[in-house]
């Protein structure tokens, strides 16, 4: 299965907006079997780049990501060497004004750039974080040639020291 966006139903009235941010039956309609093991939230400044991160077996993670506030450019790399889409890059622009879930299957490296100050990103995972199985790629790998759409980028020392992605 490849990544894709799930549009969520929203209900608006004079009080504001209501939407169901997670509904297991909705995932089943998309043939996604997902049991939440952990939920993570990041609050980031504009121009931050996070990633590319993933975990190897047996701690591989699928993710359901949403932007609660602000705007990001989300980028995924297929790292499943057994698939004909290995190395393919998926790019999405997500913002809190459009209520969506991004489904990220196991076998994808994940990163994103922050396009607005104080952006809040939340994602559920189907496996717990395991430090020993964590891997990643430098988000500025020249082999990827990604336009992160940010100026004066801010990247952690950990992420900038990750290896270059090789096709």
Q: What is the pLDDT of residues 34-51, one digit of tens each?
A: 999 999 999 999 999 999
Mean pLDDT over 134-160 rounds to 96
Mean pLDDT over 61-70 rounds to 98
Residue 87 has pLDDT above 90, yes or no: yes
Mean pLDDT over 84-89 rounds to 96
Do 116 and 46 form a contact (C-beta atoms < 8 A)? yes
Share of the chain above pLDDT 90, in %: 98
Give me the pLDDT at residue 127, please. Answer: 97
Mean pLDDT over 133-146 rounds to 96
pTM of the model: 0.94
Known catalytic residues are: 53, 123
Query: Tokens 């609050």 appear where?
Result: 43
Residue 167 has pLDDT above 90, yes or no: no
Give me the pLDDT at residue 10, please. Answer: 95
Q: Which domains does the chain have, with CATH numbers?
A: 4-160 (2.60.120.10)
What is the 3 state secondary structure string of the chain?
Answer: CCCEEEECCEEEECCEEEECCCCHHHHHHCCCCCCCCEEEEEEECCCEEEEEEEECCCCCCCEEEEEEECEEEEEEEECCCCCCCCCCEEEEEEECCCCEEEEECCCEEEEEEECCCCEEEEEEECCCCCHHHEEECCCCCCCCCCCCCCCCCEECHHHHCCCCCCC
Give me the pLDDT at residue 118, please. Answer: 98
Token readout for 82 is 């057994």
| pLDDT, mean over the chain | 96
Mean pLDDT over 5-20 rounds to 95
Do 164 and 138 form a contact (C-beta atoms < 8 A)? yes
CB atoms within 10 A of CB 77: 23
Give me the pLDDT at residue 164, please. Answer: 96
Contacts of 30 (CB under 8 A, 6+ apart): 4, 6, 103
């Amino acid at each position: 299965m490849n990544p894709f966006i799930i549009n969520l139903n929203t209900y608006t009235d004079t009080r504001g907006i209501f939407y169901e941010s997670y509904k297991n039956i909705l995932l089943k309609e998309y043939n996604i079997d997902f049991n939440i093991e952990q939920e993570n939230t990041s609050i980031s400044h504009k121009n931050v780049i996070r990633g590319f991160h993933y975990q190897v077996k047996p701690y591989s993670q699928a993710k359901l990501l949403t932007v609660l506030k602000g705007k990001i450019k989300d980028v995924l790399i297929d790292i499943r060497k057994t698939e004909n889409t290995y190395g393919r890059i998926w790019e999405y622009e997500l913002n809190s004004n459009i209520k969506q879930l991004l489904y990220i299957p196991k076998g994808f490296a994940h990163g994103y750039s922050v396009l607005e100050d104080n952006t809040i990103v939340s994602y559920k995972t189907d496996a717990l974080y395991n430090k020993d199985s964590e891997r990643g790629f430098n988000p500025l790998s020249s082999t990827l040639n990604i336009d992160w759409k940010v100026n004066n980028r801010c990247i952690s020392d950990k992420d900038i020291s990750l290896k270059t992605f090789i096709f």
